[in-house]
Amino acid sequence: MEKSRVISRKQQIAAIAASVGLSVILTVGAVFGATTISTDISTGGTLTVTGAATLSSTLTVTGLTTVVYASSTSQSLARAGTLMLGGMATVTSLTGNIATLGTLDVTGLTTLVYASTTGISLNQASALTVGGMATVTGRTGNIQTLGTLDVTGLTTLVYASTTGVSLNRTSALTLGGNATVTSITGLIETQGNLTVVGTANVTGVTTLVYAST
């Protein structure tokens, strides 16, 4: 009788130990499988997440954040935040400015509203289209415009050829600084010789000062 009681107690102890061990295993498995923490997490070291991290609220980072091989459908910054890419490019959310130390390559169309720049450089095969009405071809240097080309300063034409030059009523065409054609009066002034290979037809009065022929 006493022996059977000892065996019964041993069986009870074994059953309790097995239950405790199974509970520990299940608890550890649950912790490793999914961890839910309702309070804040503070760590003095590195927080490493090997699986996916799902955040239902806002993730606020006061220091620098390094994301290696990250992919995302969108990135949102606070109004005063700045997104730095590799230390070479910066996107400032407060102003919307994009600063880069390298080349900004755009494969599609680019729209610049109220844009100002100190210089625009095009590669050999590129063309700059302005408003769909004017084109600058980088390969040839040609400028094409569907409107009027207004030049307020001096214009130098080297080896220029044209089928016709039209001036408005108040303009004057200066050739090399030595000859001038004034559109408002029709006068032709030259500091050199006026050479006519063909016939010169004069409909109005002609004044020849110290002329010899």
* Tens-place pLDDT, residues 118-177: 776 666 677 777 777 888 887 788 888 888 888 888 777 777 776 666 666 677 777 777
- Distance CA(163)–CA(157), nearest Å, equals 14
Flag residues of the chain having pLDDT under 70: 1-10, 21-22, 24-38, 70-79, 117, 120-124, 162-169, 211-213
CA angle, residues 17, 19, 25, in degrees to nearest 5: 100
- Distance CA(196)–CA(193), nearest Å, equals 10
Which tokens sit at 102? 């390298």
**pLDDT at position 4:** 53
Compute the Cα dihedral for 119, 123, 124, 127 and give only its sign: negative
pTM, entire model: 0.32
